[in-house]
Amino acid sequence: MPIEIACSCGKRFRVADEFAGRAGKCPGCGAAFSVPVPRTLEGMGERQSTATGEADDAGTFDLAEPVIEPARGGGSGGGLRRLDEASDDGPKGKGRTCTGCGAPIAERALICTACGRSTLTGRMVETQTGEDDDGEKRGFFLLRPVIEVAGTGYSPLVLLLLLGLVVGPIAYYMTGPGKAVHVYHAAPVHVIAAMDRGETREPYSLFTGTGDRSLGVKGSNTASNQQRNVTSGGDLLTYSVGGNEELLVLRENEDGEAILLDVGLRQSKVSASGATSGYDSVIKAGDFELVPAEGQHGGKAIPARLLRTSFLTSEAYLDLGGAKTSKVTAPLPPPEPTRYTEQAEGATVSAVAVFNGQTEGTVRVTGSRSYQGMPPGDGVFAEGELNTSHPRDTAFTVQHQYNFDELVVDWADGDEGRWAVSSYKQHSDMSPWYRYKFGLLFQPESGTPEGKYDLVYCGQPISTVHLEAPRSASANVASNSSNAAGSGKPPPVSPIKTQQGVPSNRQINPNNPLSYFDILLEARDRAEGLVSASNIRQIGLALLTYTQDTGDFPESFEDLKAHVPGFEQLLINPRTGENPGFIYEKPPPGAPPSLTPVVWEAWQGQKDPTGAVLYGDGSVR
C-alpha cells in the first residue's frame, strides 16, 4: 500500500511501498528524505524503479520528476538506491548488504543470516537458540551470573557457596557440642551462709503483672530506692527476710571447698531443652549438675546451686520492719543458736538467741502471732550483733548488725555476696544468641575424686570442668586436729567430761622446757572440744524443733538434714576429726528424757566414752 510522506516544507505526498528504505528528494523544496519502512509489508512483489503519481483529495500531486534520488553508478532498482546499499563513499558491491555487520544479503531477505539483524527494523531478532544478544552461550541458569560486584559477576551457585560459608559456622556454634554455654569465670571459693530465710522483692511490673506494688512500678520514677540495693542490670531489688532465698558470701581461695562458675546460657538452648512459662524462660537449679566425664572412674553427680547474676561487693541491707513475715526466727542466720528462749505475751512474741561457735553473739527479736482471732502483723524487729567466721579461714568473716527494723550483713572488701535461688524467670529474648547470665555453685563432698566432669543441663552435657582434689571444711578440721580419725591415738577428753572430774589424757611435765608447746596443744584441744560440745547442743535444738513440729523423734540424722537447713555442718566433730562425728539413737517410747541419751560423740565410728553426751531433755553431760 502507498506510504505517506510529509516534508518539512509542508508538502505531503505518497510513494509506493516498494520504495521503502530508499532515498529521494522533495519535488517542492528539493530536500532529501528517506522513505520509512512500515512494520508490516503487504503484497511483497517486484519493486519498481520509479515513482509517479497523480494528485488526490489528500493533498498529493503529480510528481514532475521522480521523488527517489537516482542512484549513481546504475545500481539495481532502476537507478534508485536503498539506505542499506553501498554509496560512493563506501565499497561498491552487487546486491544488498547488512547495515549491522556489512555482510551481503539476498534482495528479498528479511533477516541477516550472519548476525540475525532484521533488514526491516535494523534490530536484533530474539530467538530461542540459547544465545544472548552478543551471541554467547548462556548455559545452565545456576552458572549464569545474576549479580555483579566490582566488575565481577556472581552466579547463584557461587552465592549459595558464600552463604554456606557464613551460615555454616554460625549454625555449628549454636548447636555444636560445648557451645551452648560460655563460662565467663571459674574459681574455687570459700562459702559462708549468711542468711537462709531471705527473699528478693521487686517493684510491680505492668508487663508481667508480678511484683510488690508497695515498692512502686518497675521502669517508672515511682519505684522506691530507699533500700540501696540495685543490681548491675539496673532493676531495683529490695532484700528482705522470710523467704526461701539464701544469702551466700564467697571468697576466692585455691583451697576452697566449693567451685563457682559464672556462665552464660544461650536462649536457643533454653528454648530447646529448658522450661518455659508463658513468654518467660525458667532457669532451675535442678537442671544443672556435674557428672563424671566418660572414662572417669568413681564419683557421683554433684548438684548445683543457682546464684543470681547480680552480686554485692560490700554489704546487703535487709528490710525487717516491712518484711512479709512475723516469725522471730526469720532474721537469724543458718546455724542453730547455742541457746534459744522464746516467750509470748498477747499478740507479741519475743526471743533471745545466743550463738557460741563459728557464729558468736546475741540477738533479741520481737515479732507477732495470731491472737484472739486476729492474724499476725507483718514485720519483725531485732537488736544485736553476730559474727560468723569460716572454719578454715578465720580471717574470712561476716557480720550481722541488727538495727531494729533493718539488718545489715557486712563483709570484707574483695568478697562478694550472692543470692542463691531454686529458680528464676526471665522474659524470653527474640534472639537465639542472647545469653542468660547466672552463677552455679558446686559443693562436692569430701572424698570426691578429681578429674574431668561434664556440666550437664537438662540431661545434656554442655561443657567440661576439671576438678582437683576437693577439700571440705570437715577434711581441713580433721587434718588440723591433733587426734584426727585414723591416727590410732585417742582424742583428748571433752571439756564437758573434765568439768565432771574426768582427768585429761594429755600429760604435761612442768620440768620439761618444751612443755610450753604442750600447754598450747592443750589449749587447742580444749577449744576444739568446746566447738564439738557446741555442735552437739545445736543438734539438741534441732531435735527439739523436729519433735515440736512432728510430735516424735526422727529416725536418723537424715530426717534432720531435710528438716533443718545447714545441718550437715553440725555433724563435723573437730575434737575427734570425724564427719559425721556424732552417733544418734532414737529413744524408745515412754523413756524419761532426762535419763535417756540420744547423741554421742563418735571416734572411729564408735561411741567415744571421753566425749559429751546429749540427753533427751536437751542437756549435755
Note the pLDDT tens digit of each residue in 513-561. Answer: 444 455 666 777 777 878 888 888 888 888 888 888 888 888 888 888 7
pLDDT at position 247 is 92
When mean pLDDT is compared over 307-316, 418-427, 460-469, 567-576, the highest value belongs to 418-427
> For 477-483, what is the mean pLDDT?
36
Q: What percentage of the chain exceeds 70 in pLDDT?
A: 73
> For 382-399, what is the mean pLDDT?
89
Q: Which residue has the cell 528490710?
A: 319
* Grid cell for residue 560: 534432720
Share of the chain residues as helix, strand and coil, in percent rounded to the nearest 5? 15, 35, 50
**Average pLDDT along the chain:** 75
Domain for residue 140, yes or no?
no
In the chain, the number of structural domains is 2
pLDDT at position 479 is 32
pLDDT surpasses 50 at 215: yes
- The verdict on 423 and 307 lying in the same domain is yes
> For 383-409, what is the mean pLDDT?
90
- The verdict on 552 and 587 lying in the same domain is yes
Domain for residue 156, yes or no?
no
Domain boundary at 442, 467, 492, which?
Answer: 467
Q: Is 572 helix (H, G, I), strand (E, B) or coil?
A: coil
- The verdict on 486 and 589 lying in the same domain is yes
pLDDT surpasses 50 at 222: no
pLDDT surpasses 70 at 287: yes
Residue 487 is part of which domain span? 473-615
Domain for residue 260, yes or no?
yes
pLDDT-derived band of residue 398, with 50, 70 and 90 as boundaries?
very high
- The verdict on 279 and 397 lying in the same domain is yes
Domain boundary at 448, 467, 486, which?
Answer: 467
pLDDT surpasses 80 at 189: yes
pLDDT surpasses 70 at 29: yes
When mean pLDDT is compared over 4-13, 45-54, 502-511, 582-591, the highest value belongs to 582-591
Domain for residue 516, yes or no?
yes
Domain for residue 112, yes or no?
no
> For 484-507, what is the mean pLDDT?
67
Distance set, CA 406 to CA 300, 359, 365 (Å): 42, 20, 12
Q: Which of 233, 187, 200 is nearest to 420 (CA)?
A: 200
| Least-confidence region, from 46-60, 296-310, 606-620 | 46-60
- The verdict on 325 and 410 lying in the same domain is yes
> For 500-518, what is the mean pLDDT?
57
Torsion, CA 115, CA 116, CA 119, CA 125, rounded to 10: -140
Return all residues near 3 (Cβ < 8 A) that are at least 6 apart: 14, 15, 16, 17, 19, 20, 35, 36, 38
pLDDT surpasses 60 at 376: yes
pLDDT surpasses 80 at 339: yes
pLDDT at position 506 is 61
Domain for residue 557, yes or no?
yes
When mean pLDDT is compared over 175-179, 351-355, 550-554, 569-573, the highest value belongs to 351-355
- The verdict on 437 and 491 lying in the same domain is no
pLDDT at position 548 is 83
Q: Tell me the residue length of the chain.
A: 621
- The verdict on 533 and 408 lying in the same domain is no
Domain for residue 176, yes or no?
no
pLDDT surpasses 90 at 105: no
pLDDT at position 402 is 94
- The verdict on 502 and 376 lying in the same domain is no
pLDDT at position 178 is 55
| Least-confidence region, from 150-164, 216-230, 479-493 | 216-230
- The verdict on 502 and 405 lying in the same domain is no
- The verdict on 500 and 572 lying in the same domain is yes
pLDDT at position 457 is 92
pLDDT at position 566 is 73
pLDDT surpasses 50 at 478: no
Domain boundary at 447, 467, 487, which?
Answer: 467
- The verdict on 446 and 551 lying in the same domain is no
pLDDT-derived band of residue 219, with 50, 70 and 90 as boundaries?
low
Domain for residue 208, yes or no?
yes
Identify whether the C-beta of residue 304 lies closer than 8 Å to the C-beta of residue 458. no
* Grid cell for residue 48: 519498481
- The verdict on 526 and 418 lying in the same domain is no
